[in-house]
Amino acid sequence: MSRQVRQGATLTLVFGVVLLGGALAGAWGEPEVAARTPAQDAAPGAAGPGLAGARLSRAEAERLLGASGDRWAAYYSPQEYADFLLGRYLGVGLSIGRSGDGSTAVSQVRPAGPAAAAGVEVGDRLVRLDGVRADRLPVTEVVARLRGEGAQRRPGSTVSLAVQRADGPVREVVLRRAVLETQEVTVGELAPGVVRIGVAAFTDGVAERVRAAARGARAVVLDLRGSSGGLVEEAAETAGVFLDGGEIGSYQAGGERRGLTAAPGGDTATPLVVLVDGGTMSAAELLAGALQDRCRAVLIGSRTFGKGTVQQPSRLADGSVLELTVGRYQTPAGRSPDGTGFTPDVPVPTGERAETLALRVLAGLGRRG
């Protein structure tokens, strides 16, 4: 189905839409992608009676969300939602991670984004966020503050960071949130025949791009670090690239359990490693967890984000969208990442690059094969 058709289609369920304004942990980063496909099962009445087609001002919608107690609830203006459908997102262009000593550091910086323009670099420690000690906040709270909440969730709003490089002085930077564009799938070669496929978010066509990139590879490194989730059908189809049918997971919505399965005929022979970190969230966690449960891939990295909830968008009369949590999902083994995340099979030792470790693991898998 084309992007244009999907934009006008009935809104249904989403896995992992947070609208980050710039931080996923470990790398908690950007972007967030809104769902817009009729091919998913909607939970009947899950978004709340009378919301679809309702006439609410932005202030009224935000008051409703605030009263709901739903951490992942969100309001999008018509233009904001259109931007997200096209792979654009509001953010500052950085990802952060929580290290073993409890400190919070920058793990990724988007070129030409607000953070890069302010001189923020990978490895910089995030000391304070709008005056609050970053290491005293849960990573999910850091995410929420960086993305902007309420009136701060708009282009041009600011967030103040205190960052420190190595043992140097702490410096203050003020970043202005901006609408950035995603590059959902990136492809490169780590070694002859070893293809690295990075997936930043699960939007239209991602599964087919992953399938094309993996075709003919001697081994595959699927990089889900900082992958913020998105369309569950794309995550399921991506799992199907590496599985020959079978269960991928399930989710609860509207009091019903609904299963997710892979199409038959996927590649089950090519050695596969999946890189994860604190920025691997929601639909990306489901994909990683399914491949782990099915013993199809070795997970390398650090604990994932821990978002196991499903959201349903509801379009209002003016074209704006309210998004509310309607359920939770589980992997084939019945695991939920919600609040805890998933633990990788092989953690990355301090000072070693995940890609280097992935090549070593793949070499071992090749010997066993």
CA triple 185-187-190, angle to 5 deg? 140
The CA–CA distances, whole Å, from 236 to 23, 64, 243, 283, 343 equal 25, 32, 10, 9, 20
- Rounded CA-CA distance 157/146 in Å is 11
Reply yes or no on whether 307 is catalytic. Answer: yes
CB 322 within 8 Å of CB 279: no
Containing 209, the helix (H) or strand (E) segment is helix 206-214
Beta bridge partners of 250: 259, 330
- Rounded CA-CA distance 66/26 in Å is 28
- Among 95, 227, 302, 307, the one annotated catalytic: 307
Helices 283-293 and 232-241 meet at what angle, rounded to 10?
Answer: 30
Residue the block writes with tokens 């074209």:
319
- Among 250, 282, 302, 336, the one annotated catalytic: 282
In sequence order, the 6+-apart residues with CB closer than 8 A to the CB of 49 are none
Reply yes or no on whether 282 is catalytic. Answer: yes
The encoded tokens of residue 4 equal 């244009």
Burial (CB < 10 A; 0-12, 13-18, 19+), residue 222, is: buried
Residue the block writes with tokens 């992935």:
358
- Rounded CA-CA distance 99/295 in Å is 28
The encoded tokens of residue 86 equal 């096209």
Residues carrying an active site annotation = 282, 307
